[in-house]
Amino acid sequence: MSEPYKIGIAGLGTVGASTLQLLVNENARISARAGRPLKVTGINARDRAKDRGVDLAAFEWFDDPVALAKSNGIDMFIEMIGGSEGVAKASVEAALASGKAVVTANKALVAHHGAALSKLAEETKGASLHFEPAVAGGIPAIKALREGMAGNGVTRVSGILNGTCNYILTEMETTGAAFAGVLADAQALGYAETDPTADVGGFDAAHKLAIMAAIAFGQQINFDAVQIDGIENVSAEDIEAAADMGYRIRLLGVAERTDAGVSQRVRPCLTPTNSPLGKITGVTNAVLIEGDAIGAAMLTGPGAGGYATASAVLADVVDAARGNCPPTFGLPVGDLATASTDPAADEGAFYMRVSLKDQPGTLAAVAAALGKEGISIHRMRQHDHTGDMAPVTIVTHSTTLAAVDRAKANIASLDVSLAPPVSMRIVGV
């Protein structure tokens, strides 16, 4: 029989505890798939007394995750601490420098330091870096891009990459409630953190998008190039107006290759109700990959949660135990292209909501502000209202984000404008 493959786990929150439970309770099945016995030998967490669903006395306890990472008693280090800096980064660096395999669910760490960590893994005998659980939870998005789509020239990767935002937008659709109330409900249910900024601000999705874009386009990871806009300003009025036109609002991450470089953006968009991404509701995630050979392929499933994400962790554990350790981003770090960006690539039809004084000439003033930037109106609707404020929704013909931003500034400066205009791209996926 092969020697056991010894595993250390740092961080026993929802995902870490679920991973430990599966490694204990389903050990025979998972070990058979790994081709050798898998054995957890060391663990680390902040609270030693908390119930994790298994007897922790069977494992060596480490107060310091870096000490666990360096321990001669493990072959693999699983990092579930979180955060792009501090002990998470230090422990992963220590494990790699010690020649160990590392599995991490830490998308912020990979998005900010993935290239350096991959280089360290390549330069250290026995080391390897794996991060399937960092993107889209239980959906095998990394393996699909890096291995399953290896024969394709990928043209675009897009998707619904944050279950919290999709839950909030879905609830706003079905209940008509405002963003703040639905967010509070999501926090009470555990779908949103006490500080929800990373989710509703679009940063969580942006971390995932940057990782996938690097693999899809064979270039250095470039989180700073992701244009990020969250869902905080999406109103019940926007949800209703979109529905009236046959659309749903979704927070979409889109990375695509253009003649000028690679465009990466995360922002709320209107997508047709019956489109592949428009059909995704609740906390479900979806990744749509478009390539020259396959056309389009979509993966859907739980984007978060203990056992769902632990499933992705264990897929990486099995790979590492079998010695299946491909280059982290599909190519050796030195072969990745220099990151290229095309921030001006966001072009198409846009939805716009403006709040105007209810008086003659206001619509003409708005049309003039749009026309000044070369924006043609496809349709315009003034909604029923009471009082002196008239809400108006506009759908433009194809234009650029830059032109829309300039037009919004023009409209906001008008005497007839009562609130900053809101705009969202309309996409067909």
Q: What is the CB-side half-sphere exposure of residue 8 using CA atoms within 13 A?
A: 31
User: Do 96 and 125 meet the contact criterion of CB atoms below 8 Å apart?
Assistant: no
What does pTM read for this prediction? Answer: 0.91
**281 and 352 both lie in a single domain:** no
Would the pLDDT of 408 be above 70?
yes
pLDDT confidence bin for 343, thresholds 50/70/90 = low
Beta strands in 107-198 (DSSP E): 128-130, 154-160
**21 and 87 both lie in a single domain:** yes
**Which of 108, 130, 152 is a domain's end point?**
130
**162 and 295 both lie in a single domain:** yes
**188 and 245 both lie in a single domain:** yes
Q: Number of structural domains, the chain?
A: 3
Task: Respond yes or no: is residue 89 known to be catalytic.
Answer: no
pLDDT confidence bin for 380, thresholds 50/70/90 = confident
DSSP code, position 219:
B
**Does a structural domain hold residue 161?**
yes
**What are the pLDDT digits (tens) for 203-261?**
999 999 999 999 999 999 999 999 999 999 999 999 999 998 899 999 999 999 888 88
**145 and 125 both lie in a single domain:** no
DSSP code, position 340:
-
Catalytic position from the list 208, 279, 357, 408: 208
Tell me the backbone φ, ψ of residue 412, rounded to 5 degrees.
-60, -30
pLDDT confidence bin for 17, thresholds 50/70/90 = very high
**Does a structural domain hold residue 207?**
yes
Find, among 173, 149, 146, 144, the residue nearest to 301 by Cα.
144
User: Do 326 and 145 meet the contact criterion of CB atoms below 8 Å apart?
Assistant: no
Domain of 38?
5-130
**Which of 237, 272, 303 is a domain's end point?**
303
Distance between alpha carbon 294 and the CA centroid of its chain, in Å? Answer: 23
Residues shown for the chain: 429
**125 and 246 both lie in a single domain:** no
**Does a structural domain hold residue 46?**
yes
**What are the pLDDT digits (tens) for 311-326?**
999 999 999 999 999 9
**185 and 274 both lie in a single domain:** yes
